[in-house]
Structure formats: C-alpha cells, structure tokens
Structure 1
Amino acid sequence: MDFNLTEQQEMFQKEVRKFAEAELTPLVDIMDKQNDFPHEIRPKLAAMNLYGIPFDPKYGGAGSDHVSLILALEEIAKILAPLAIHIQLQEVVNDRFNKLATEEQKLQWMIPICEGTKVGCFGFTEPDTGSNPKMLKTTAVEENDCYVLNGTKRFITNAPWADVMCVFAKLEGDISLFFVETDLPGFSTSPKMDKLGLRGTDLSDVILEDVRVPKDHLMGGKGGKFDALKDAMTIGKLCLSAQCVGLMQASLEEAIKYAMTRMHFDEPIFNLQAIHWLLAEMASRLEASRWLTYRAAFLKDQGIDTIKDMAITKLFVTSTAVDVCRWGMQVHGAYGISKEYKIERLFRDAKMYELLEGTSEIQRELIVKRLPR
C-alpha cells in the first residue's frame, strides 16, 4: 500500500494549481455574480488536456489515470467549483463514447470534446426521477431507418450550448442509451436555472419532441444500459467528491487567513481556543475526505469501482464539505455571510454537492442495500 503520488502526478497537480490560480481567479465573478459561462476559457482548458485526462491520446486524451483526474478537479474546484463541474461532464460523456461507441464515433466526438471545440451533456434525470431507472419516461420508438425520441430531461448541465447529448430512454421496455446531436429538429432547451451555488454552469431542461436519430446513434445495442448508467454514476460521484476536497481546502485557507488578520483585544482571533477547535475540525475532516477520495480513484484505476465504495465516498465527502465550509463561515463570524468574503460563495457551492448525482439519502440507500447480511 503506497500513499505517495507518482512524480508525474505531482508535477501535473502543480501545473493545474498554477493554471487555476492564474487563469480562473479572474473568472469567479463572471460565473458566480453574472451567472454566465466564460467560453473563452475552453481552449485553455483543452490546451491543459483537462477534458480528456484518462483517455487514449489517439482520441485526444492525455493517456493518464483517474487519480490524475481527481487531482486536477480538486485544484480547479479550489478556485472555481462550477468550472470543475463543466470539466467533469466532458469526462463523463467521453467515457460513454469510449466504452460504448464505434471506432468511427469515438474519433468523431471524443477528439473535438477533448480539444474543447465540441461540448457534451448527459441526460438521465427527468422531472419525475433522478435515481430510479424504472420511472424513466423518455421513450425511443424504432421507425424505419431511425429512432424517434420523446421526453423531458431535467437539470442538464451545459445543455443550452452543448453539441451532443447522451440520452437514456426506454426502448421496447428496457433502458437504452443514444447520442443525440443538439441541432436536430425537435431538440430544445428551457431557460437556464438561476440557482443557489455552482452558478454559471448553465443548467436547464431538455425537451425532445419527435427527435429522429439515425440507428447507429444507439450506443452498445438495445437495452441493458442500467449498468452503463451505474458506471457513469461512479465516475460522477468520484469527480464530485474531488471537487468537495478542493472546496474544503479553500475554506480552511480562507478561515486561517481571516483568523490571522482579524484582531480581538489587540491579538488575532487565531489565538483563541474556540477558533483552534474550529480549524482543527476543518483540517481533520479535510484530510479524511481527501484520502477517502484518493482511495476511490485508486480503486477505479485498478478496475474496482463498486457503487458501494463510490456511494460511501460521495456521502461522506459531500456532507463533510458542508460542515467544513460552515465552520469556516463560523470563523468569519457575521462577516461570513457577506459576499465580500470568499467563504460565502464556498458555502453555497458546497451545499449543491449534497444534491448532485443522487442526494445523500439516495447514497445511504445504495450503501445499505450492498452491506453483507
């Protein structure tokens, strides 16, 4: 058991940290205050190979591993979490193409996504379900040389300006997966949502009205795609956990910085025992979360990525992130609710992660169902 990062992983982590501090810091207000996505950053993300970290270079990827992926997302989220969400979605979409598409389709879509010239989005969640595939209402009907898709997808990141979407739909009573070009007739999106945190990620509904897709857009054959959904969810849970580690690191640093400069009776509040307790809790929970997340990434690189392991990681790390950011806010006192301080944004962003890729309550159900009995 080796807890050390490789030299290559450490170098990559430092490069991403330097990139994030220089290039993403100026974008914070654009995303959080204006609720806009800064598209000018996409070529820079692609130049860093952040859209295709674990994929084969022949498909535009970096040929690296999932540990490197979560190291990058941690550093990105420390500066600007919603941008990490955008990157995560490209990794998830590319992973579906990598595992289920034909060689021609991989070259057609994975390369431009990795290059940042095309954007993908992922469509499972619907108005009536976010975790139960049996409740899926989007349908696909075979018709001559195509499939006709109808339904509504909800909370779809990147949807307003994506080029392609992975769509889960019921075909002949079983779950199938299609890729759908967003410029096809019948494909439309609702106005983007104005939400609490992770602002600027452009979340909206996708409406499919008699969208006709060629038969070769059915990925991996008819039916049986519940396993493909679970596989995608494990990647999502892992990526979200890494981003929460970045948020916690940022919160701890902000809390220390504030405590060192905020004076009370001619001495910094950092010297107060009450502040010591808060900072100690933050630091210990951060380290526990970081190593649980790193372990999950290591397991995935070994081909061991059970739903239970990823659900445990996601449950612990996302709920802990809310606690850590809340304690960081406590260190700031009343100033913690002021938008002049970064901790206010970090707390709003952290809360979002408890609700993505299945709520904490769903994670508990996934875990309990897989406990030995």
Structure 2
Amino acid sequence: MHSTLPPEIESFRTTVRRMAKGNFRDLAAGVDEGQLIPASVRPLLAEIGAFGLPFPSEVGGSDGSFLAWAALQEEIGRVMPVLGFYLQANLLVAGILLESGTDEQVRQWLPALLDGSKTGFMAFTQPQTGSDISMMTIRARRAKGGWSISGKKMWISNAASVAMGVVYARDPDDGLPMFLVPTDAPGFRVGQRIEIMGLRGTELNELEFENVLVPDEALLGGKTGIKTAILRKVMPIGKIGICAVCVGLMQSCLEEATRYAKQRVQQGHPIIDFQAIHYLIAEMVAALEASRQMVYWAAFCKDQSADAITELATTKLFVTNAAMRVARLAVSVHGVYDIAKGAVVERLLRDVQVFELFEGPSEIQREMVMCAVRDIQ
C-alpha cells in the first residue's frame, strides 16, 4: 500500500526495518520459548535512537516525533512484538520524569533513560485493586530525612533488570505522590515473576516495599498530591506504541498467511487461487490498512500538542480488536498447521491477546470514547 508518511520518517522506518529483520527476527522464537529478551538488543536499539523517541535533544532525546515513534514500533512489532512492549515501559517512565520531575531529577535520570544505558519501570498497578487510583493502598509516610514506602505492586514491567522506577503511593493526607525509587534501595524486593500466555519475553513481577526509605529529593516534582494532569498527558502515549506494534503484528500475520497460501497445494492448485482464501486475505488487508491510518492519525494529533485522549482511546479499541481478528484469520488460512506450538502465527495470536489488555482493556476504551460522545453539544 502507498505510504502516507513524510519522506524523512519513511526513510527512518526503512532503516528500522532493515535492522529489525537482520537482528531481531531470528531471536523471536527463542525469546518466546526462553522468556527473556537478550541484553544484546539494547545497544542495537540505542544505535537508532529508539529509547530517545520522541524526546527533545536538549534533554538527551532523539528529536523525533510521535509519528516516527509509531513507525519504529510498527517495524519492531513486525518481527518481535515483545520488544516493542519492552521499549514502551521505558517511554512512560521517561515521559513522567520529563513532565513532572525537578531539574535535578531530570538531570540525574533522564539522559541515561533516553540513551538506553539505563531503563526504568512504572509501578502503578496493585494486587486486588488494579490501576484504580482511588483504591491505592501502598503507603508513603514521613520519616527522618525523607519518606518510608510500604506495600505491594503487581504486573510491573522490567523491574527485575532496571536501575529505578516511578512508584505511586498514598500519603497520610490522602494525596497520591510519585517517588523515584532506585532498585538497590534497602527494603525493595522484586518478587515472583508472573508468566503470561503471550509477550513471553516480558518481565512482569510483583514488587514488595518494606519500609523503603527514600530522601525528599526522590519525591517526583518535589510535591505531594495527585498528578492527574501529568497522568492525563503521559499515560495515553502508551497507546500509540501498543497500537503501532499491533499494526506490525498484523503485517506479519498477513505476510505469513500469504506465503503459506502460495505454498500450500490442494486439488492441484495453491490455495491462494481459491476464492475462500481471497476473502480471508482481503479482510486482513482491510483491517491492517485501516488500523495503520488510525495509528498515524493519533500520533499526528499528539504531535500537534493535542491531548488526543479520545483519538487514542478510539485507536486502541479499534486496532487491538482488529489485530485479534487478523491473527485469527491468519490461523484460518493455515488451518491446523498454525495451532502447533512454535508456529509464527500461533505466537502472534497469543501476543495480541495480551495487547488487548495492556494500556487499558477494550472495556475501558469504550467508556473513554463514550465520555467524549456525551460532551458533544
């Protein structure tokens, strides 16, 4: 299909595609089986500025746009979707830090996050209460020289292998401050790893905080209180990356299905000659192209400094549902051959089911869209 990207971003996407195919494609099956992303991928991602998109150069970023970020994540998702999710977690930490951190906090942490020498985690979700801010149970109380944090977090990405994390807690005044917590802080422990059906190279863990002492300088932005404006601005950004990865995943499903249909012979003909297969593949193409344009539009809106919350919620709802349908259609083209463990589309089908849930499940996106509809005069 004809590209709608500006020439400079299309050129960047070509560079990413070449690097991803040459270095990551052959790792995908092993990462799924061994459940660990090798450390060797980090310098390759850093080389193309992946960790610094889309942040300004004055803070150590790559001066890219959200549209460029979407193009990068699409190509990563085309060969190894779990790697796109790995990048995603770091982006949110860097975004929160840039928007809310003090000058010293930004100087201390942000350049290393953006050049890939360090990565971070975002500790938001809790056991039992999930991501409901009003039900935050992890506690932060004043202590000598700073704060003491106690409680548990769950479903936290990358925490087992990073330098620091942003931790949401509740203070005695019922405020909800965020703290920068180094992973070597006494009392901090990475608990049990959570194994999931897809994106199996993702490190998801429970986190335990037992009177973890952090100085006043660790209080993000130097203030207590809930930072809803910051969350409203930064958290939706995650949807761009997730949806772009899903577009790449759909592209891979289409390529696998088409390749197989050309090779598989029935009644003396490759099955790509059969009308039933035409219908399946045409449906895949339509869903893919509609999703791609929605992602590009959402990224463009974000680049224009709009909050783009409705656009991003609509895109997340449509694209993850479309990706699920495309993966299932790819299985239909392959038949029984693609339900075997280790088949590419079998892995992609498991991956996309996780993407439907991460960064807000479809049910939440529907509610966000409806809130916008209610406001229409």
TM range (shorter): over 0.9
Partner of 1:319: 321
Whole-angstrom CA distance in 1 between matches of 2:39 and 2:193: 16
Greater mean alpha carbon deviation, residues 55-64 or residues 263-272: 55-64
Whole-angstrom CA distance in 2 between matches of 1:110 and 1:30: 31
Deviation at 1:233, TM superposition (A): 2.1
Greater mean alpha carbon deviation, residues 140-149 or residues 80-89: 140-149
Q: How does 1:29-108 map to 2 (within 5 A)?
A: 29-108=29-108
SS in 2 for 1:33: helix
- Aligned amino acid, residue 185 of structure 1: P
2:138–2:150 contact (8 Å) kept in structure 1:
yes
Whole-angstrom CA distance in 1 between matches of 2:228 and 2:137: 14
1:130–1:358 contact (8 Å) kept in structure 2:
no
In the alignment, structure 1 residue 203 sits paired with structure 2 residue 204? yes
1:30–1:200 contact (8 Å) kept in structure 2:
no
Deviation at 1:338, TM superposition (A): 1.6
1:296 aligned residue (276, 295, 298): 298
Count of aligned pairs? 371
1:133–1:226 contact (8 Å) kept in structure 2:
no
Partner of 2:273: 271
Q: How does 1:326-345 map to 2 (within 5 A)?
A: 326-345=328-347
1:258–1:332 contact (8 Å) kept in structure 2:
yes
Q: How does 1:140-289 map to 2 (within 5 A)?
A: 140-171=140-171, 172-220=173-221, 221-289=223-291
Whole-angstrom CA distance in 2 between matches of 1:151 and 1:335: 46
SS in 2 for 1:54: coil
Whole-angstrom CA distance in 2 between matches of 1:27 and 1:4: 30
Please give the per-residue CA displacement for 1:247-300, whole angstroms capped at 9, x wherever unaligned. Answer: 101101111001011001111101111111111111001111111111110010
Deviation at 1:340, TM superposition (A): 4.3
Please give the per-residue CA displacement for 1:307-343, whole angstroms capped at 9, x wherever unaligned. Answer: 2221111111111111110000100001110234311
Deviation at 1:226, TM superposition (A): 2.4
In the alignment, structure 1 residue 121 sits paired with structure 2 residue 121? yes
Whole-angstrom CA distance in 1 between matches of 2:76 and 2:142: 42
Please give the per-residue CA displacement for 1:110-134, whole angstroms capped at 9, x wherever unaligned. Answer: 2112222211011111112333210
1:179–1:218 contact (8 Å) kept in structure 2:
yes
SS in 1 for 2:93: helix
State the superposition RMSD in angstroms: 1.4
1:296–1:305 contact (8 Å) kept in structure 2:
no
Please give the per-residue CA displacement for 1:181-215, whole angstroms capped at 9, x wherever unaligned. Answer: 01001111113222100011111111111111111
2:153–2:206 contact (8 Å) kept in structure 1:
yes
Deviation at 1:244, TM superposition (A): 0.6
Identity of aligned residues (%): 38
SS in 1 for 2:312: helix
Gaps of 5+ in 1: none
Whole-angstrom CA distance in 2 between matches of 1:182 and 1:329: 42
1:128–1:135 contact (8 Å) kept in structure 2:
no
Greater mean alpha carbon deviation, residues 186-195 or residues 78-87: 186-195
Q: Which TM-score applies when normalising by structure 2?
A: 0.95
Whole-angstrom CA distance in 2 between matches of 1:61 and 1:42: 16
2:20–2:75 contact (8 Å) kept in structure 1:
yes
Gaps of 5+ in 2: none
SS in 2 for 1:142: strand
1:245–1:289 contact (8 Å) kept in structure 2:
yes
Partner of 1:132: 132
1:131–1:358 contact (8 Å) kept in structure 2:
no
Greater mean alpha carbon deviation, residues 4-13 or residues 347-356: 4-13
Deviation at 1:232, TM superposition (A): 2.8
SS in 2 for 1:253: helix
- Aligned amino acid, residue 228 of structure 1: I
Q: Which TM-score applies when normalising by structure 1?
A: 0.96
Please give the per-residue CA displacement for 1:44-103, whole angstroms capped at 9, x wherever unaligned. Answer: 111111001111223321111100001000100110011111111111111111111122
Greater mean alpha carbon deviation, residues 75-84 or residues 211-220: 211-220
2:136–2:170 contact (8 Å) kept in structure 1:
yes
